[in-house]
Structure 1
């Protein structure tokens, strides 16, 4: 049995044993709260957000992210027809890589194919399915917890040993800050994201009655397999122009090019709650989904369906290594990857 090192966890962060991975590593759920009553629970399988409870003006507290009750359900969810990646840290490369290959320093790299002929969200056993070690925590104002994973050279055929850290901080302003850093032993490609599905009406409800704002004037054009063509589509007179608040569409799976750090806003009139997504990344991939195909129950016995939640995957453009006009996705040896996203909740 492999013990998890969580001796540095502060007494104000509750650590609960969830179970064991196939290699017998112990998986814990770590829960921290701020003084306003907001509470987040994160486990070290996939550095995954399991729940995020936000207090409403009424005094009620609601869980605004989709998830499962047990570690076993998270592990089994990867056998679903379309794995949902509920709350996980996605890497090494979020999104699709065309034909699961890319050139780097003049060499063609062939990745594992896990989405037809393509590589999706890091491959067959991406970061979402790995054991992350807790390396630090704080319990003062704005409690935080930091997870680390070391991805070996040629993991899923990506070059370089990549050391990744993700720090979650719950501020007294009801913000969940997510900070990724990474370093590599040799040049590689990196694109990390946080893959929570949000629902401000509560995770057991449909997302349909909430409103969406996206600070974008164009989306990445894709083919029928959702692979970028290298071109962009203007959002002028486009159904996905969300410059002003309007209802969430039934289906959306698109990468929006961001104008500035204020990426998107989600609004629930029912709960008088607003979520602002703030990021230093060049894009946000927005996806409505959560379907568990009546095979796995969600938390509180929820039946998750195709309109259960909405993802704000702040990141670089999908397939960026294969398009010179896309932002750089290469992390060089001796440099550091940095990514910061804040999910800010406010009563309105």
Structure 2
């Protein structure tokens, strides 16, 4: 097990460090302090090289030249909050908005805009990078201040675990983090050879601004039915893309994986687990010109080149009963885990 550190650039006055974690199998991940970003998930290939399972950029700047939130840490609250408004402990709050009058992915002061302090740790079977930051009301506009910790751990089972914690000593606030990770397991620039399984019987109805209406719909006989392995590209074509929230971890499902993504040509497979009530899937149906991902070797990224799988509590949970508990109370600590286990079939 090895840990490597290197300063890669100075971005808007921030010294950005890249931390590489390598296990005994030659699998490695890298993270950037800027945005607590998951930069690479490199798995060995037959020719002695590596394949990056993530869509990523060569520089920190690349992550901020577009609105993809690519592989970055999202908080305090993932997803959208309608009108940036909610009631907490009997008080009405208005937080900063950043999309059509709504608050998306924590708003303009989200986790992803912070340069995080870090330490590292090592055990016999795993290596970790630990990011920490005091999240302040004066910075992001949400009520209260708390200490946030994000831990990326790579173990010898080729499993990546992301742990999000918040320790709150002050007033009640909200906490619903995720990693906005985009995947392409294949050697192609599309998802045509991917199959996806999601353990979900239901998905959320959304309005024209992608805000949950409160209604929960059945996946039966719709393009949202991924209860068995389904060709992802065919489902994308049938639905004109996805930017949708699936209900997961329902009664009797807690021990099952949330989702399994498989590339049928290479045999690469990822199994995703979390404790959250939701899985948001975004397939990049439209993409701005000029976005150059590192795996494209200077070519412009194309629509539906990757799929984002964001494990979290369901979007706008604070304004919808039974969507999940996103309240962080005074003197409370909460921790969520998301795991991605790689296998070569």
Decide whether aligned partners of structure 1 residues 163 and 52 sit closer, same or farther in structure 2, where only a CA change above 3 A counts.
same
SS in structure 2 of the partner of residue 13 of structure 1: strand
The CA RMSD measured in Å over matched residues stands at 1.7
- Counterpart residue number, 1:298: 293
- Counterpart residue number, 2:134: 150
Give deviations 1:328-347, integer Å, cap 9, x for gaps. 21000111121001101111
- Counterpart residue number, 1:64: 53
- Counterpart residue number, 2:261: 266
- Counterpart residue number, 1:201: 186
Structure 2: unaligned runs, 5 residues or longer: none
Structure 1: unaligned runs, 5 residues or longer: 1-10, 78-82
Matched, 1:189 2:174: yes
TM-score scaled by length of structure 1: 0.91
TM-score scaled by length of structure 2: 0.91
Question: Structure 1 segments of 4 or more deviating over 3 A?
Answer: 56-60
- Please give the alpha-carbon distance, in whole angstroms, between the structure 2 residues aligned to 1:321 and 1:38: 38
SS in structure 2 of the partner of residue 343 of structure 1: strand
Decide whether aligned partners of structure 1 residues 58 and 277 sit closer, same or farther in structure 2, where only a CA change above 3 A counts.
farther
- Please give the alpha-carbon distance, in whole angstroms, between the structure 2 residues aligned to 1:188 and 1:84: 26
After TM superposition, list the pairs within 5 Å mapping 1:1-348 onto structure 2. 12-22=2-12, 24-56=13-45, 60-77=49-66, 83-138=67-122, 140-184=124-168, 185-202=170-187, 205-248=189-232, 249-250=235-236, 251-258=241-248, 259-260=253-254, 261-289=256-284, 292-299=287-294, 300-348=297-345
Q: CA deviation at 1:294?
A: 2.4
Q: CA deviation at 1:84?
A: 0.5
Between stretches 275-284 and 138-147, larger displacement belongs to 138-147
SS in structure 1 of the partner of residue 223 of structure 2: coil
Q: Does the aligned pair in 2 maintain the 1:290–1:309 contact within 8 Å? A: no
